[in-house]
Every structure is written in structure tokens, then in C-alpha cells.
Amino acid sequence: MSNFDDALKTSASAMTAQTVRLRTISENIANANSTAASAGADPYRRKLVTFKNALDRETGANVVKVDHIVPDAAPFELKYMPGHPAADGNGYVRMPNVNSLVEMGDLREAQRSYQANVDVITATNTMISRTIDMLR
């Protein structure tokens, strides 16, 4: 039964980690067109989620944890908007370093990873149920 428990714990932890990633991606998308409030200030900076493998000391199962949520070091895009309050002396506004197309790709990947872990949990529960049926 321990291997089944480990599979369930690993998949559940991966789902929790992917939920954090999905929220972070959603935040990135929501701020893709936001600008700084004043000239010279930085706009929203894209965030990235990193994961790590950890050992659950209680059960001995390998689990997935969010390691860090880090700012993306990619440069900001400059957009010519001379009337904008955040425009510099040349009329350029620094825009967030968020590419909506990349975010949508990351979103699909996170959703697929989440669904794969749901499938592992479903398959594990089916195996547990069939094992119990065989023992009756």
C-alpha cells in the first residue's frame, strides 16, 4: 500500500505546485499591458515559478514543491506613447516583459501537467479498488 500512497502524495503535491504556477501565469497575463504609474518607474515584471524535488520525511515519498517565484530578468519593451504619464523624455514607455503568447503556452503546459497528475491519482485509486476487490 505504501507505493500507492507515495504515488498519491507525489501527484497531489505536483498538482498543488502546478496550481501556484497557474496563478502566477494568470497574474502575468493580467498585467501584460500594465505600465508604471510615473516616468522612470519599472512596470510589472513577469514572474517565473521554479520547482524542486523534496522528500516528505513522514512518509518517505518524493514530492514536488515550489522552490521560488522569481522575477524574469528579460528587458522591458519600449513603446512610443508620448502622451502617457509614464513616458520618458523621448516619449517611450517601458512595458512589462510579458509575452502573452509565451504565457498561453506555459498555461497549456501547466494545465496538461495538472491533468496528468489527476490521471495518475485516478489510475492509482482504480488499482487500489481492484486490489481490495481481489482480496475479498
Residues 4-37 have pLDDT tens digits of: 888 999 999 999 999 999 999 999 999 999 998 8
**Residue 119 burial class via C-beta count within 10 angstroms: exposed 0-12, middle 13-18, buried 19 and up:** exposed
Q: Copy the grid coordinates of residue 37.
A: 504609474
Q: Is the pLDDT of residue 39 over 90?
A: no
pTM above threshold 0.85: yes
Between CA 132 and CA 126 the distance in angstroms is 10
Q: Which pLDDT value is given to residue 58? A: 85
Could you say which DSSP state residue 35 is in?
Answer: -
Nearest to 66 by CA among 112, 24, 4, 100: 24
Q: Is the pLDDT of residue 1 over 70?
A: no
Q: Copy the grid coordinates of residue 129.
A: 479498488
Q: Copy the grid coordinates of residue 47.
A: 514572474
